[in-house]
Structure 1
Amino acid sequence: MKVILFADIHANLSAFEAVLADIEKHYQPDAMISLGDFIDYGMRSNEIIERIQTVNIPLLANLKGNHEKALIDGELSCFSSERARVMSKYTRNHLTQTSIDYISNVMQEPMQELEIGGKKVLLLHGTIDDPYWGKLTPAKVEDEKYQDFDYVLSGHIHQPFKIDVFFKVDNPIMRNQKRTTFINPGSVGQPRNQNPYAQYVYINFKTGETHFNAVPYDIEAEQSLFPKEIDTFYSERLKFGI
């Protein structure tokens, strides 16, 4: 099973189109997995939801993120700044009913378990304790709650990483170790690893082959869409990947 893994598009259509073009050029995947946050921060939430439904690659999983949750339940207190709350309200006011229905009825809860290529895989937007808002950073991957899985795939932090953790288990044949591979693909539309390119991951679950990809796109085209009432922070950060 060859899978494209992506997260955190955040209404950046130019970035997503660049990723789709790169996939078509380099890979022939069996499926895609989205780890949440199609919407908000960017200006084209409706367009992203429309576009994802036309992609000719099966969507194996389609998780909600914290921004979809905030949109549906209207609870904005978890955002860390007032500008983020203003941004969420702006997005909510500009979403079509069709987009709202898609988020409510099609997107999945942000923690799913799958078997892919004979591997036990946990999909998260956040963490196992807080699937919407938790941050599964490299410093937190040794939590034994994850040891039953072969892969843990997560989003939300907008920073890509791949880490193998070898948990202690009672299995002499495997030298009493159990490997769990943690992967975060980074963000398509709003990376925060000081690389402004659109980022995603290709995984071959049979061989373990994993490619981290960063694709250039027209950042200025997306920046030009931001209206004056939105804090310039959200458009300026695209240029720096922060």
Structure 2
Amino acid sequence: MKIAVIADIHGNVMALDAVLNDLELRGGADLIVNLGDCVSGPLWPRETFERLEEIAAPTVRGNHDRRVAEDGTDEMWPSDRYARERLTPAQRDKLATLPLQLEIAPSVLAFHARPDHDERYLADAIVDGHLVPAALEAIEKRLHKLDPAFRLLLCGHSHRPELLRLPDGRVIFNPGSVGEPAYFDDTEPMHVSQQGSPHARYGRVEIDGDGAINFEFFAVTYDWESAAQQAERAGQPSWAHALRTGFMPKTQGV
């Protein structure tokens, strides 16, 4: 079984199309799973939503999916408000009904951040304002309530491609972000996440009949300059910088 894994599209339909085209050129997959944060961002939220409806991938709720679906408030982040204002009520309602987690195959669990929370990091820690790999003990503690029958855990949220095998044999796989290669989170503790290049990221998992699992990471070139220009038109220059470079502007380092 081949499972294509996409996450953190953030309204970047150009990056999503590039990923889907690349996947097709590589022979496709038996299943595409979407790990959430679908539309939030100053790009093409409605177009992205419509493209995702076309592929009908099993999808879990990201923290920004939840925020976009909530009633608009002054406290909303600009990227969430931008998406909310451009989606139809029916589209927002659909985001609100996305599940926190999904068992997409036997022993394979998909979720956005953690199995029990859509906004807390699983395999990462914040050190000196940057995301870094978390200690194994911390990761195991975060998973202590999860049924150990789940051997493969698919997650996103950090936007960082990660593959980690725990001492008990469970594997965590994060494909990286399709559409937002870097971000600055101004909630305490403030931090940045940076993929280090503007490529659209995704992954593929192949589960053999004997239970062996192989993993692939892909970084796909697309017209990120056009995406950056769209962010600039929406009044988000830091997004534009991230889309062009894979890094946050130095003025938004912490």
Give the alignment's TM-score, normalised by structure 1.
0.81
CA contact 1:87–1:230 (8 Å) conserved in 2: no
Q: 2:140 aligns with which of 137, 142, 145?
A: 142
* Contact 1:13/1:47, CA 8 A, preserved across alignment: yes
Alignment partner, residue 126 of structure 1? 113
Relative contact order higher in (CA < 8 Å, ≥ 6 apart): 1
Q: Deviations over 1:102-133 (max 9, x none)?
A: 3235xx2222234x2xx412211111342x11
Counterpart residue number, 1:72: 69
Gaps of 5+ in 2: 124-132, 182-193, 248-254
Secondary structure of the residue aligned to 1:41 is coil
Determine what percentage of the aligned residue pairs are the same residue.
29
In structure 1, distance between residues paired with 2:231 and 2:115: 34
| Deviation readout 1:211-242 (Å, 9 max, x if unpaired) | 10000010111122235552311121111213
Residues 1:160 and 2:161 aligned together: yes
Pick from 100, 109, 113: which aligns with 2:103?
113
Question: What is residue 38 of structure 1 aligned with on the other side?
Answer: 38
Quick one: distance in 1 between partners of 2:36 and 2:115? 15
What are the Cα deviations for residues 33-83 of structure 1, in whole angstroms up to 9, with x where unaligned? Answer: 00001111231010011111223xx62x21121111011224779xxxx7x
- In 2, are the aligned partners of 1:65 and 1:125 still within 8 Å (CA)? yes
Amino acid at match of 2:162: F
1:99 lines up with 2:99 in the alignment: no
- Aligned counterparts of 1:98 and 1:74: Cα–Cα separation in 2: 13
Measured at CA, do residues 18 and 228 of structure 1 come closer, stay the same or move farther in structure 2, by a change above 3 Å?
Answer: closer
Looking at structure 2, the residues matched to 128 and 31 of structure 1 have their Cα atoms a distance apart, in angstroms, of 20
2:2 is the alignment partner of 1:12:
no
Q: CA RMSD in A?
A: 2.2
Residues 196-224 of structure 1: CA deviation (Å, up to 9, x unaligned): 10000111122312110000010111122
> C-alpha deviations, 1:153-212, integer Å up to 9, x for none?
111110011111122xxxxxxxxxxx1011011000012311210000111122312110
4+ residue stretches of structure 1 with deviation over 6 A?
Answer: none
> 2-side partners of 1:75 and 1:180: how far apart?
39
Q: What does 1:45-84 correspond to in 2, within 5 Å?
A: 45-55=45-55, 59=57, 61-74=58-71
The residue number in structure 1 matching 2:213 is 208
Structure 1: gaps spanning 5 or more residues: 168-178
Q: Which residue of the partner structure matches residue 187 of structure 1?
A: 177
Inter-partner Cα distance in structure 2 for 1:239 and 1:11 = 16
TM-score (norm 2): 0.78
Query: How far apart in 2 are the matches of 1:28 and 1:94?
Result: 31
